[in-house]
Structure 1
């Protein structure tokens, strides 16, 4: 099996849908000798900020000299981004080799009468097998969706459970209230574990705290209020904060937006528990260096400066609010052209209601995903909000139209589905305009 054959096999399992439950992944991993049981894992769930928080944790651990696996989704430009060790993507040949091993076990399952695993279950099994084989020191594991029945939740006991901001999303699977969604996210919490939580709204927080109590866990609430941002621009931020008994002054991050400072504070709390409870050798210098080196593509990421061209995966209401806060804080009265693409199972209208008033021009396009809303349908929603709008089915044509409409003193923002953001990132990097 070569790389293209591996991808064809993995993506070919999309037809088996999205099944919430642990029976399939449990069986598949048992046939692989349960590699996940030999891994030290930091398990991260939430609606927003999971990837950024994982990336901050990953970078600080690498600065401390550890061999770190990080498992995230979706990818932006290359499938291999999803499985990384010390920020290096799994090699294509390695992905092909491990996929062939996992496929043989899937075939055994099906022959024995079990259901065929889903795409996410297969990729999760590939990641666990690869990380065990590569003898990583620790894995930073991002939940795919929800938590309680997510394939990643097959793990027995992580070092730390992390809960990032919870908001309304994936209501068909997780429930239509914050309490229901928080219950699903909190399903990753295991007995007698350390839990680090981003402060939530009262409804979500009450649910998580009840789970923590039932599971006899130790809860650390990240103190995101006791901070001071001393410098902020489109190239990064500098801030002060206090975590446990330590005051950290002049911490630097490249990620922009106030919410990223909060995510960094959550990550520092995680690393401090690794150091203080588990004996990880991570110095304050490693914390500073790790935060400064953290990159997380596609999240309010600056691609060019003239014009200012930003991409952001603001695919839900909280993401749209964070993007608008960034616009207000960094872009003043500049004219903004928005390229927008959304998946139809999101709260599309509310996202549009938040973003559209901030923008002079709007161009809708189609994300590269079967669940994408058609550009013309999205255009109708924008028009309903009394905003003129152009639509382009082709993403590259949408980008070129945005550039045509924008002078060097204005701003282009491409937002919505991460399945679109990766394509735009590749287009802009080529620079063929």
Structure 2
């Protein structure tokens, strides 16, 4: 490959994706797949020229949890950059919204296409040049997530950063990020039953997975948890010989801060981020003189995290506002609706103002419980309308139009290269099975909903076209489009609707 561009890198990376069957097996295992998950990742690391001990040089803050781990990482990164403006701070998260390089950030900005390609191909070449394998099960190249994790490690070590925040991909104990021998601090966000819980694990079993990121001699932090989860985390911190086990408590003044990320649930994530940043700075001999220093407040206010309770005014279609949230569990969808069905967001601040055309664009991964998701959305809408005294609104007519579309980017069946997904079963995609089931569930839940206003569509581009037509028909009345159920869906809407410049 002579050019070795970003596009070339993404094409090779897409070839490392797992198909639907492998991905479901990975989720069922909590990220483990086999007893060799961690040894294999260490082997790949060695093949590109690093030892696990080298990763300690990144000065890692390690974060896992079921809900809010990405937001917590974003808050933590922003706090450190505000408190230590002369530092260079790395952030590794997943998944991306529009471009893979979003996963690897330095000082808040994704790696450039040129830098991502550079580090990508340096890893690629080292794996080709060092193909001696210790474990028979180890493939020549790692799967997609592991490979991007290697690229992140290589980039961060090459750049000699002052701090790196690592978000766990799946689970914790067997995750590709869990080969750092001694992070500076490790934290666990809220525990719950997430979409990877296909085997019906208990909170205690999930806590055991998450608590696996605690390390000997390293402070182990967590937010308040269900008692069974808290007991397991406390035990794991002791078993793994953490230096201390800290349960975050309310920080005076934090609830008054206008957080950069919307939603009441973000207060807990921001609290953990403050604890993580404070613990990290103190470990680096940087004194923190109050519970909530001014620089921390500024970091919390400036934090940005695309696709999570995000309001985006359409830059070219001024009557349309997009409300983007990649919520994909029952609990996160509850938070999403709590945010959206609020005066000044999905509800007009003034009940007497002109009506809004509301649209729901929704999708969820094959095999997840669509009816439960949709039922939860409707129940939360009803609760929010009652809370805000909007007796003039009815849950059955809250949305004027609902759209269930596949996560395929374009109408011709193509994907934006960064959003290509082979994890969608071919039969499901061809027949729009999941989307048809969602539409059927909606009809059952809301029998009075007009059938012509329920759309089952094969691509995100089709969905955006429906919104554009609704705006045209509304004759300058506002259109509010809530996009949720999938971060891939949110990313596709940002791409197709031309929102990248204002949303990312």
The TM-score, its normalising length taken from structure 2, stands at: 0.76
Residue number in structure 2 paired with 1:30: 46
Q: Structure 1 371/316 Cα, relative in aligned 2: closer, same or farther at 3 Å?
A: farther
Residue from 131, 144, 151 that aligns with 2:156: 131
Please state how far the C-alpha of 1:272 moved relative to its aligned partner: 1.8
- Deviation sequence 1:201-251 (CA, Å, 0-9, x none): 22222211221222333122222xx4xxxxxxxxxxxxxx42xxxx55842
Structure 2 match to 1:95: 116
- In the alignment, which residue of structure 2 is the partner of 1:11? 14
Aligned residue pairs total 411
Displacement after TM superposition at 1:332 (Å): 4.1
Aligned-residue offset at 1:11: 1.4
Question: Which residue is 2:246 aligned to?
Answer: 220
Alignment-derived partner of residue 416 in structure 1: 485
Correspondence 1:105-124 to 2 at 5 A: 105-108=126-129, 110=131, 112=133, 114-116=138-140, 117-124=142-149
Equivalent in 72, 88, 95 of residue 93 of structure 2? 72
Q: d(CA) in 2 for partners of 1:124 and 1:100?
A: 14
269-278 vs 45-54, which moves further? 269-278
Structure with higher strand content: 1
- The answer to whether structure 1 residue 200 and structure 2 residue 225 are counterparts is yes
Q: Are the structure 2 counterparts of residues 67 and 282 from structure 1 closer, same or farther at C-alpha, using a change threshold of 3 Å?
A: farther
Q: Give the number of the structure whose alpha-carbon radius of gyration is greater.
A: 2
Indicate if the aligned counterparts of 2:323 and 2:482 stay in contact, CA closer than 8 A: yes
Unaligned runs of 5+ in 1: 227-240
For 1:282 and 1:130, the matched residues in 2 are separated by: 29
More displaced 10-residue stretch of structure 1: 87-96 or 40-49 = 87-96
Give yes or no for contact 1:42–1:141 (8 Å, CA) kept in 2.
yes
TM-score (norm 1): 0.87
Instruction: Select 1:54's aligned residue among 36, 49, 73.
Output: 73
With a CA cutoff of 8 Å and minimum separation of 6, indicate the structure with the bigger relative contact order: 2
Paired residues of 2:254 and 2:271 also in contact (CA < 8 A): no
2:456 to 375, 391, 399: 391
Distance 2:287 2:202 in 1: 41
What RMSD in Å do the two structures reach over aligned CA positions?
A: 2.5
Out of 266, 275, 290, which is 1:269 matched to?
A: 275
Post-superposition offset of 1:110: 4.7
User: 2: CA distance between counterparts of 1:350 and 1:377?
Assistant: 12
Superposition pairs of residues 287-326 of structure 1, within 5 angstroms: 287-304=296-313, 306-326=319-339
Which blocks of at least 5 consecutive residues in structure 2 are unaligned? 27-31, 349-355, 382-397, 409-420
Aligned in 2, Cα 1:56/1:382: closer, same or farther, shift over 3 Å? Answer: same
Residue 430 (structure 1) shift: 5.2
Q: Does 1:425 align with 2:484?
A: no
Distance of 2:469 and 2:231 partners within structure 1: 49
Matched with 1:238 is none
Structure 2 residue corresponding to 1:352, chosen from 366, 374, 388: 374
2:404 is aligned, of 356, 364, 369, to: 364
